[in-house]
Structure 1
Amino acid sequence: MVARSSLSHMRVSIGGLEVKMSGEGGGGEDPQKLKRIAAAAYDYDMDARWSDYWSNVLIPPHMAARDDVVKHFKCKFYQRYIDPDLIVEPMATSSSSQPARPSATSATHESSTRQRSTGSSSRPSGASSTPPPNSTSLRWDQQTIQFSVNAWVFVVAVLAIFPLVPKNLSDRAYRLSLLGTACSSVYSLYSLYGKPRAWNLQAVQVWFQTVIVTKDFIYSVYCLTFVSSNLCLKFALIPILCRALEHVAKFLRRNFSRSSLYRKYLEDACIWVESNTTTLSILSSQAEIGLGVLLIISLLSWQRNIIQTFMYWQLLKLMYHTPATASYHQSAWAKIGRSVNPLIQRYTPFLSTPISAAQRWFLR
């Protein structure tokens, strides 16, 4: 009897936090409560996957600074990589003057979860099977639209580069994939940053300085540069394919991780894409630099377009200095310099002066 009583109360230490548990079957702590405590105590800073995950979360900057938003996405990260059985509730976006709604929603959710785990089919009289409306549904719609567009872009881009497709169909698929990526990038910019607060020079300048350093702006200009050109370079689809592949894999991992079809056919591919985002970014940067070289070579042909070449090299200059793409482009340019500079100094030293002038323009 004493031994049984001693087992009725025990303490479990999770990440430095002590949780008191009362034993005896169903009388213990709610398992979801223990999982939430473990998620809160997890050392995210020591997990390299967290920094990569957080850098790919598409939310406005003012929301990224909120503690409740960071905690919500930490729970999502913990659910994906550590404990898939953790139930992450929708993020409450109501104002601070209504503090009781999130807790009420949490209690209702925990109660329904407990009933399902015990096999009970009864429901509270006032309970509803649909979650309360909030901004999560709006965010879900935006993500679904982005997924649909990027999946369509990926299929059309693969069709454009497939060698057995007729040339007229391939060229049309090439332009449609560029247009789809441009629309996806502009929609993402609008959903994250909206429009200028006022249509005057100062407000537009502030808004433009905010969006010009984003990858979505760079990709929108990139696509418009090639879709308006008579020169059809299928090589330009490599960054488009990489971008679409990352977005599609991320959406499938977030929303279909418990689907049997996903686990059977797509899980390995999506895991590989998410674990090799750096490789895809390096491939995209190298392809973008290679396109700049091809445009310079095209100036010697009848399909030359001086304005497009100049605009694209301005875009490459922006990619070199923008934080979102700078590390990959600077690394690629440094590798090119280590390989090309010795050859120029040895065989064509007369090119050193114009190349130095071009470097000064590119780096300033």
Structure 2
Amino acid sequence: MGDGDDDPQRIKKIAAAAYDYESDPRWAEYWSNILIPPHMASRSDVVDRFKRKFYQRFIDPNFVVESMPSTSASSQSARPSVRSSSSSATENARPHSPGSGNTTSAPPGRNENSLQLDRRSIHFSVNAWVLVVAVLGIIPIVPRHLSNKAYRLSLLGTTCSSFYSLYILYRKPRAWNLPAIQAWFQTVIATKDFIRLIYCLLFLTSQLHFNFALIPVLCWALEHVAKFLRRNFAGSSLYRKYLEEPCLWVETNATTLGILSSNAEILLGFLLIISLFSWQRNVIQTFMYSQLLKLMYHAPVTAGYHQSVWSGIGRSVNPYIYRYAPFLNTPMAAVQRWWFR
């Protein structure tokens, strides 16, 4: 009877292990939102467990994810006599102060949770501020001088937020030499925070002013604020009355926001190419942004959205090129070879 009951779960476990997570854009987004230390993220058992949880959430809700075996209990009970004897000796040797009986220390788990909550609160505060400022910068009816300031401040806020998130998750290179910096750079280059950091730096240091550049910033801040509110204020009456439906809409339309952001990012690339024929040309920025678009096309966290948008552009443009401008086939082929390299 026990084997018969376990057969469905065993089959589900095999199906979960055989599922192609890398081709599912939801897995890349799910994994990018997991906040764990880098040394834990490199462990295959930890990654497999999160893959099973992803499979349970998005593919098969009836799949049961087993809890990870805890090694702390066994390590704590391995030497009880030594620990008890050492603790008793320490207590006997410790001098008693008059006020020592009233002092209590906070549990380390609580301190760690409060520290993590403080980090998330700081990140949320910056993103909420960016959300408000970006709205002011993108609305056409706002005065131009105020819109320009809001444009710069929103890019600056997202830069600080992305840099802070990168530092919290990946810290700094273990050594300030070329191999260590290269290893650290390879770890962070395909992350969502690094892409956002470079994106904002490119437009923050540019003399060109594109309101379209705030669309991805607005989408990123909106998504982060909605997730934070749903996780931490779900029990608040104010949240349930005014913010629950907007936050739920943002979470259910995350794919739409990702596609909107990708369209704006690609449109900015074409605008930068057009600007090369004006007096405001910036060849270095255009080249750097083309490299960033290439990274967005290949990075797992953004590849699904960008590949979808570029496929639509190709289906619309290629027939006209083949029919009316066949001389562009050779340069287009060269660009595609560089792009897919």
* 1:99, distance to aligned residue in structure 2 (A): 7.5
Q: Distance in 2 between matches of 1:99 and 1:158?
A: 57
**Distance verdict in 2 for CA 1:98–1:257, change over 3 Å:** farther
- Provide the residue aligned with 1:86 in structure 2: none
Pair 1:259 & 2:236 matched: yes
- The RMSD of aligned alpha carbons is 3.5
Deviation at 1:97, TM superposition (A): 4.9
C-alpha deviation, 1:57, in angstroms:
2.5
- TM-superposed deviation, 1:68: 12
Which amino acid counterpart does residue 179 of structure 2 have in structure 1?
Answer: Q
1:309 is paired with a residue of what secondary structure?
Answer: helix
The alpha-carbon deviation at position 303 of structure 1 amounts to 1.1
Q: TM-score, normalised by structure 2?
A: 0.74
Q: 1:182 to 1:99 in 2, by over 3 A?
A: farther
The normalised TM-score by structure 1 is 0.70
Counterpart Cα distance in 1 of 2:174 and 2:125: 30
SS of the aligned residue for 1:301 comes to: coil
Residues in 1 aligned to 2:77 and 2:30: alpha-carbon distance in whole angstroms:
29
Deviation per CA, 1:50-98: give whole Å up to 9, x if none: 9665653232343355669969x97xx99xxx9xxxxxxxxx9x89855
Letter of the aligned partner of 1:270 in structure 2?
A: C
Which amino acid is 2:280 matched to?
A: Q
Quick one: which amino acid aligns to residue 301 of structure 2? A
Determine the C-alpha separation between the residues in 2 that align with 1:208 and 1:319: 16
The Cα shift of 1:299 comes to 1.1
Give 5+ residue unaligned stretches, structure 2.
Answer: 7-15, 62-69, 79-101
- Report the equivalent of 2:259: 282
Take 1:328 and 1:162, find their aligned partners in 2: how far apart are those partners?
25
**Residue 275 of structure 2: aligned partner:** 298
1:361 counterpart = 2:338: yes
Alignment partner, residue 322 of structure 1: 299
For 2:186 and 2:47, how far apart are their aligned partners in 1? 28
- Equivalent of 1:56 in 33, 38, 47: 33
Give the AA of the match of 1:192.
Answer: L
Identity %: 66
Match of residue 308 from structure 1: 285
Task: For 2:338, give the aligned amino acid.
Answer: W
Superposition deviation, residue 236 in structure 1 = 0.6
Q: Secondary structure of 1:237's partner? A: helix
Partner of 1:235: 212
CA–CA distance in structure 2, aligned partners of residues 258 and 54 of structure 1: 26
SS of equivalent residue, structure 1 residue 361: helix
Report the Cα offset of residue 158 of structure 1: 0.2
Q: Cα gap change, 1:95/1:185 in structure 2, threshold over 3 Å: closer, same or farther?
A: farther
After superposition, what is the alpha-carbon deviation per residue over 1:154-185, rounded to whole angstroms, capped at 9, x for unaligned? 00000001122111110111011001101111
Shift of 1:297: 0.7
CA distance in 1, matches of 2:141, 2:199: 27
1:247 partnered with 2:204? no
Q: Match of 1:204? A: 181
How many residues matched?
Answer: 284
Measure, in 2, the Cα distance between the counterparts of 1:96 and 1:284: 49
Code of the aligned partner of 1:133: R
Select the structure with the greater relative contact order (CA < 8 A; seq sep ≥ 6): 2
- C-alpha spacing 1:99/1:278, structure 2 compared with 1 (3 Å): farther
* 2:128 alignment partner, one of 151, 155, 179: 151
Q: Which residue of 2 aligns with 1:221?
A: 198
2:245 aligns to what? 268
Aligned partners of 1:202 and 1:352: how far apart in 2? Answer: 41
SS at match of 2:110: coil
Q: 1:338 to 1:95 in 2, by over 3 A?
A: farther
Distance 1:303 1:133, change over 3 A: same
**Which aligned segments of 4 or more residues in structure 1 are displaced greater than 4 angstroms?**
50-55, 64-71, 94-100
Amino acid at match of 1:285: S
Q: Distance in 2 between matches of 1:95 and 1:198?
A: 35
CA distance in 2: counterparts of 1:275 and 1:99, whole angstroms: 46
Return the offset for 1:253. Answer: 0.4
How many Å separate the matches in 1 of 2:141 and 2:301? Answer: 36
